[in-house]
Amino acid sequence: MPPRSDIAMKFSRAVLGVGLMLVLASSASAADKAPITYDEHIRPIFRQHCFKCHGEDEQKADLNLSLFAAVVKGGSTGQVLVPGRPSGSLLFEAITQDDPAARMPPNSPPLAAEKIELVRLWIEQGLRESAGSRSMAAARDLSFRPAADVASRPVGPPPMPGQIAAVEIPATRRPLPIVALATSPWAPLAAVAAHQHVRLFNTDTRQPIGALAFPEGEPFVLRFSRDGRLLLAAGGKPVQAGKAVLLDVQTGKRRAEIGDEIDAVLAADLSPDQQLVALGGSGRVVKVYSTLDGSLKYKLTRHTDWITAIAFSPDGKRLATADRAGGIHLWDAASGGILLSLAEHTSAVRALAWRGDNRLLASGGEDGKLILWDANDGWPTSTMPSPHAPQRAPGTYGKLPSGVLSIEFAADGRFASSGRDRKVRLWDASGRALLAFDCAALPTKVAFAHDGRTLIAGDASGEVHFWPIAPGPAAKK
Amino acid sequence: MTARFKLLLALTLLIGLLPTGALLAAAEKPTDAGTPSFRRDVMPILFRAGCNSGTCHGSARGKDGFMLSLFGYDPKGDYYRITEDIVGRRVNVAVPEESLLLLKATGKVPHTGGELFTKDSVYYRRLLAWIEAGARDDAGPVPEPVEIRLVPERLIFQGARRREQTQVLARFSDGSTRDVTQLARFFSNNPTTAQIDKDGRVEAGKRGDTFVFARFNRFTIGSEVIVLPDESNYRWTNPPASNYIDKLVYERLQMLHLLPSELCDDATFLRRAYLDLAGALPTVEQYQKFMADTSSQKRTALVDELLASDAFTDVWTGLWAESLRLMGGGYGPTATDVKAAQAYYDWIHEQIARNRPLDEFVARQITASGSNLTDGPVNLYTMLVHSPKFTPKSFAADFSQLFTGVQIQCAECHNHPFDRWTMDDYYGFVSIFTGMKRKIGSEPRESYIYNDLSAPPARHLVDDRPMPARVLGGQQAIAAGKDPRSALAAWLASPTNELFSRNLANRIWAHHMGRGLVEPLDDMRVSNPPTNKPLLDALAGHLVDSKFNLRSLVREICTSRVYQLSAEPNATNLGDDRQFSRARLRRLRADVVLDAIGQATGIDRGFPLFPPGTKAIQYYPRTSGSTEQPTAGDAFLETFGRSKRGSICSCETKPEPTLSQVLHLMVGGTIQGEVGSCTLVPQLLAAKAQPAEIIEQLYIRTLSRKPEPGELSDMLRLVNSAPRDRKAYDDIFWSLLNSTEFLFNH
């Protein structure tokens, strides 16, 4: 296992020179030293363990590890190394296999942890041949460009509920866990899921200011439109019925009802132009409906398990969808054509969030990982291996639930996450840890107030938390 | 009927007739009172309703997107999956009766498993109350069941009484006892004889004996059910008994209203004893001598003579070699070179020849370290599991199956569903072997087997805990720092360890009687009880008392009247195939058939790579390659179902007759060629033997008996046209070798 280090350290060290090149070294101590090279560090390891079958004399699977050029070229199955991405490199997979029958070198104990770590760093740093070589990993500039979506700011005063009709609040034994939470991008307004209705809060006063009816059941998804005028509520009754509705924030009126599903909707989003609603659930299919006439525009059938998260990019061009088996796909939002498949999560994905400039997609899941993807080519620019791993009690063993449950970006590029360690964490735009808040119950959802000055979370006991936070860098200017 | 037996029967009938409630007044009844506990109340309901069974959500990947641990071995994980995995979906603490868990179980929403209970059931009320109270996990440890009982322990049905309610009682770690009949699951081993419904009511079926079982938590327990015929004219005939084996079999037969068959005749006994004890037919001379003997003790004397023979050693060396998967190869990494196999074979042979106590025989192998080529017994660690690398899990599972008859491998992934074994037991047992290593010896064929005491123990699958080495069912971990194999050897052979002695006794019994008291031999578990427990206990007890003396136990068995019964059924025992009221017809083992053909024809068949004169029972598979692939090594032996040694399972030896066996004998090379080149008939003809004499010789050589007068006259008619031509005699010889009487031990 590579030593775990604070993600913040990783990012702060990764900021190099002109532009922000996210070179990701997860070991602070290793990153301090000179880069790992084939000649100095890796060839001796290969010589000791691999040359017998993959050397000058014999090249099993046409793979020769004794020459740098041949290493890069790969073997009969193609390249065995992807510069910058150990998790995508066949060679790295082969030496870290759990199954002794599939592991390299064969019929031997696994390589020593230090050696595996050197190989990992070498790949991550871009397969340098010698100290004078350049990294083969592509340099990428993913710095946040604020104001990219300021254009969608509506004209006039931000939409707040006006005279909305009182709705009947059904009596419940205890509050519904907060299975959904959303904040208006422009108004001090939060929408919170409750049994058969949506509670509305003023995020400045933290007071409830009304409710919207959702007699269909539990609203498992809440999303504001980019202009803040509409609220998408989707959900239903598990294994009975599911639906998405569009509610007018100012009047409380229903503007549209979309879908007629046989199970509750578990994930949904409204396209920025308000033309499309994408939704999914236990049926493993993402359905994209027109909001104009409720017709089904297209279906996305590539997922192999329940759909757990759906998010349109802020510019509306792309649609990200995720499932319970860890799969994430990026689609062309207009046609439903597949663009990219992002395969890195090994367990259920729980959250997808786009950064406002459309260039970065964040995902989090039950494998504990929070991954920041370059949305252009699907490259995992940064993997936070376990940002929500709980503290282990002494004398205990085994895997603790460490899933990331919710991720949201603020307009200023900062992001927040909640997870199974019962903490809500605030990160700066480059992934540096800023703050952490404790919750007594599982914090199921997080959101930022429109001005980025309040962090909001909902938990499994039905409580809504408001924490004041300093405004982000963009707002300070 | 013995007085002891009468008393036993009277008592069991009495218990059977008592209203069960009277016995159980002390047991706490389930109530609706109090806040339900997840582990104590909710988990048992999921078990009872079948939610966590293997075909439903308990399957390895769950069902319809929802997984539970099989029969509830992981309550913590189940709590997570029910309440926290997808918050708000499966339980709804806001509106409890809308919880999917309840809607699914009552069939109110589409559910593959249908309706499991109704809204007015105690199960529904308890689950609802748990969700109403917030669907919380238990704050601390809750009392665990430590034992369950099913009462009555025996049910005997005769006459009009056809139904009876059973009751399941669980004792908990806090000392309390609870009536868990409503939370248990029930099944019958033979529903034709007795059915048991989901509430524990037994209904008698056809005549016979079987067991019904209750399961609760990780426990399974059985009660015997005996269904007697209505006829009242059954009378015990008081057949003589030679020893305790006869007494115990008779007690069982009386209980089931069966009568034993008659004693078999001398010729049948002679043939049976030779085939079982020597793996061979009696010669004509041995036949003549035995038949001429008028001593009343001649059967016992024959058994003693055979026990002392080299052939007996060969038979048991072969049986052990087969069980231990002894094979020789030429592939380095498996460390199973022919030289290693021969060293192992020779070592086993020597132990059997010396009549080394079986506990020492096994202990010596368990604790062995050293070279596979020179220290035969270390090959337990190269051959029980044939693989390039020593694999502690496979080895531990196979070891247990062979030496204790217990299949613990289920407990790798979940507690054994039908026995007492838990994952803790499994991983503790695996840890005994986690240090076993091989290193390359001084030549390519050689490996050194040793135990690396610094190796870490196995880790528990559920929570990754390191599991210190423990013997099966042991409460204490084996002290660290010493070779845990010594503790294993000591435990295995300990007189108090029934697992080992019962397993050996059952296997030895099965070899001679054609059926184990537990079948399959290597599936001893609570839910697969012996057909005659007192007998198995007595045989195991004899092994312990005789210091695990193989020959002593074989002598007990073969001198019993039960061993010497005829295969001819009587009016009562025609349907009996498990109580040993008559001899079983058994097809000869593959190697014994081959040797018998060789013996009858006088032709040494031979095996490649083995010296001339090697008998089939002495043969083990040899190959020039890897021994990882199963092989019988010889086409004839393979056809006749000799173990291919592909796994440790006793089912590798296939006793059933097949079409290809019949065809092989009729038209294959083995008999055709050998009858043709057999010199017996020409010799007899040359010696001017009479046709009747020649036919008699052929009968004795093949069937170990003289022809019946009718048979003889039929045969004579066949040879009459050309009494000095070998052709007709060859045809008779061929027919005898193809007869079922030749192929069977009867």
Nearest Cα of chain B lies from the Cα of A399 at a distance, in angstroms, of 7
DSSP string, B681-738: HHHHHHTT--HHHHHHHHHHHHHSSPPPHHHHHHHHHHHTTSTT-HHHHHHHHHHHHT
Residue-level length of chain B:
746
Q: Does A214 touch chain B (CB under 8 A)?
A: no
Q: Is B456 on the interface with A (CB under 8 A)?
A: no
DSSP one-letter string for B239-266: ----SHHHHHHHHHHHHTT----PBPPH
Rounded to an integer, the average pLDDT of B274-278 is: 98
- Per the CB < 8 Å rule, is A177 touching B109? no
Tokens coding B307: 């026990």
Residue A256 to residue A279: CA distance in whole angstroms: 14
pLDDT of residue B6: 44
Nearest to A179 among B87, B462, B465 (CB): B87
Name chain B contacts of A176, Cβ cutoff 8 Å: 88, 92-94
Cβ A425 vs Cβ A435: under 8 Å: yes
Res A146: pLDDT: 63
Predicted confidence (pLDDT) per residue in B177-218, tens digit: 999 999 999 999 999 999 999 999 999 999 899 999 999 999
Would you call B98 an interface residue with chain A, using a CB distance cutoff of 8 Å?
yes
The verdict on a CB contact (< 8 Å) between B464 and A399 is: yes
**Helix (H, G, I), strand (E, B), or coil: what is residue B400?**
helix
Chain B residue with minimal CA distance to A174?
B94
**3 state SS for B347-366:** HHHHHHHCCCCHHHHHHHHH
User: Which phi and psi (to 5°) does residue B639 adopt?
Assistant: -60, -40
Q: Work out the minimum CA distance from A112 to partner chain B, whole angstroms.
A: 16
- Grouping H, G, I as helix, E, B as strand and the rest as coil, residue B328 is strand
Residues 408-447 of A with CB under 8 A from B: 442, 444
Q: In degrees to the nearest 10, what's the CA dihedral of B306, B310, B314, B319?
A: 40
| A267 contact B CB<8A | no
Q: Give this complex's ipTM.
A: 0.83
Is residue A11 scored above 50 in pLDDT? no
Q: How many CB atoms lie within 10 A of CB B164?
A: 21
Q: Nearest-CA residue of chain A relative to B460?
A: A398
Cα distances from B447 to residues A275, B374, B390, B398, B451, in angstroms, run: 72, 10, 12, 21, 13
Q: Mean per-residue pLDDT for B480-489?
A: 93
Contact B94 A195 (CB under 8 A): yes
Q: Is B387 on the interface with A (CB under 8 A)?
A: no
From CA A450, how far away is CA A264, in angstroms rounded?
A: 29
- CA distance to partner chain A, nearest, from residue B95 (Å): 6
* Helix, strand, coil percent values for chain B (each to nearest 5): 45, 10, 45
Question: Distance from A85 to chain B by nearest Cα, in Å?
Answer: 29
Cα distance between residue B489 and residue B503, in whole Å = 15
User: Which pLDDT value is given to residue A151?
Assistant: 56
B132 contacts A398? CB cut-off 8 A: no
| Subunit contact B100:A239, Cβ cutoff 8 A | yes
pLDDT digits (tens, 9 = 90+) for B346-376: 999 999 999 999 999 999 999 999 999 999 9
- The pair of three-digit structure tokens given for residue B536, joined into one six-digit string: 């198995």
DSSP state for residue B485 in the 8-state scheme: H
Predicted local confidence at residue A19, as pLDDT: 31
The set of residues, in sequence order, having a beta carbon less than 8 Å from that of A73 and lying 6+ positions away, is A79
Sheet holding B447-451, edge to edge: B370-371, B447-451, B436-440
The shortest CB-CB distance from A397 to any of B86, B100, B463 is to B463
DSSP structure class, residue B510? H
pLDDT, tens digit, 9 for 90 and up, residues B526-579: 999 999 999 999 999 999 999 999 999 999 999 999 999 999 999 999 989 999
* Bridge pairing between strands B154-157 and B219-227: parallel
Q: What is the pLDDT of residue A152?
A: 65
Stretch A95-119: mean pLDDT, rounded?
A: 87
B333 pLDDT tier (thresholds 50, 70, 90): confident
Read off the amino acid at residue A231.
L
Q: Strand ranges (DSSP E) for B189-301? A: 194-196, 201-204, 208-216, 219-227
What residues in B contact A459, CB-CB < 8 Å? none
Task: Give the C-alpha separation, B337 to B439, whole Å.
Answer: 15
**Nearest CA-CA partner of B88 in A444, A381, A138:** A444
Residue type, B100: L
Mean pLDDT of B691-711: 96
Distance from CA of A395 to the nearest CA of B (A): 9
Q: Residues of chain B with pLDDT > 70: what percent? A: 95
pLDDT of residue B33: 65
User: Which of B41, B31, B619, B625 is closest to B337 using CA atoms?
Assistant: B625
Long-range Cβ pairs for the range B408-417 (8 Å, 24+): B408/B472, B412/B461, B413/B60, B413/B70, B413/B461, B414/B58, B414/B69, B414/B70, B414/B71, B414/B73, B415/B70, B415/B71, B415/B73, B415/B218, B416/B218, B416/B525, B417/B54, B417/B70, B417/B71, B417/B215, B417/B220
Q: Are residues A186 and A462 in contact, defined by beta-carbon separation less than 8 angstroms? A: no
Q: Does residue B129 sit at the A interface (CB-CB below 8 Å)?
A: no
Do residues A80 and A74 touch, judged by C-beta distance below 8 A?
yes
pLDDT tens digits for range A273-311: 999 999 999 999 999 999 999 999 999 999 999 999 999
Angle at B215 between CA B211 and CA B216, to 5 degrees: 155
Please check the confidence at residue A7 and state whether its pLDDT lies above 70: no
Cα B303 to Cα B563: distance, rounded to the nearest angstrom: 12
pLDDT band at A396 (very low <50, low <70, confident <90, very high): confident
Contact call for A239 and B87, based on CB within 8 A: no
Q: What is the C-alpha separation between B67 and B54, in angstroms, rounded?
A: 10
**Which tokens in the block code for residue A20?**
């922000």
Q: Give pLDDT tens digits for A160-209.
A: 999 888 899 999 999 999 999 999 999 999 999 999 999 999 999 999 99
- Hey, is the C-beta of A222 within 8 angstroms of any chain B C-beta? no
Contacts of A266 in chain B (CB under 8 A): 86
- CA-nearest of B668, B660, B738 to B703 is B738
Residue of higher predicted confidence among A179 and A26: A179
pLDDT interval class at A475 (50, 70, 90): very low
The pLDDT tens digits for B503-532 are 999 999 999 999 999 999 999 999 999 999
Helix (H) or strand (E) holding B395: helix B392-403
The answer to whether the peptide bond before residue B152 is cis (omega within 30 degrees of 0) is yes
Nearest residue to A336 (alpha-carbon basis) of A375, A301, A284 = A301
Dist CA B581 CA B572 (whole Å): 9
pLDDT on residue B27: 52
End-to-end CA distance of chain B: 29
Residue pair A431/A11 in contact (Cβ under 8 Å)? The answer is yes
Residues in chain A, total? 477
Q: Is the peptide bond before A105 cis (omega within 30 degrees of 0)?
A: yes
B128 contact A CB<8A: no
What is the C-alpha separation between B732 and B698, in angstroms, rounded? 8
Scan for tokens 């090994």, then name that residue: A346
**Per-residue pLDDT at A88:** 83
Number of CB pairs, chain A paired with chain B, less than 8 A apart = 73
How close is the nearest chain B Cα to the Cα of A174, in Å? 5
B393 within 8 A of B471, measured Cβ to Cβ: no
CA gap A298, A295 in Å, rounded: 9
Both structure tokens of B607: 């095996």
Give the SS3 label for residue B397.
helix
Contact residues for B486 (Cβ-Cβ < 8 A; gap 6+):
B367
With 0.80 as the threshold, say if the pTM is over it: yes
More confident residue, B352 or B495: B352
Neighbours of B25 (CB within 10 A): 6
Chain A residue with minimum CA distance to B86: A179
Q: What is the mean pLDDT of chain B?
A: 92
SS (H, E, C) chain A: CCCCCCHHHHHHHHCCCCCCECCCCCCHHHHHCCCCEHHHHHHHHHHHHCHHHHCCCCEHHHCCCCCHHHHHHCECCECCCCCCCHHHCHHHHHHHCCCCCCCCCCCCCCCCHHHHHHHHHHHHCCCECCCCCCCCCCCCECCCCCCCCHHHCCCCCCCCCCCCCCCCCCCCCCCCCCCCEEECCCCCEEEEEECCEEEEEECCCCEEEEEEECCCCEEEEEEECCCCCEEEEEEEECCCEEEEEEEECCCCCEEEEEEEECCCCCEEEECCCCCEEEEECCCCCEEEEECCCCCEEEEECCCCCCEEEEEECCCCCEEEEEECCCEEEEEECCCCCEEEEEECCCCCEEEEEECCCCCEEEEEECCCCEEEEECCCCEEEEEECCCCCCCCCCCCCCCCCCCEEEEEECCCCCEEEEECCCEEEEECCCCCEEEEEECCCCEEEEEECCCCCEEEEEECCCCEEEEECCCCHHHHC
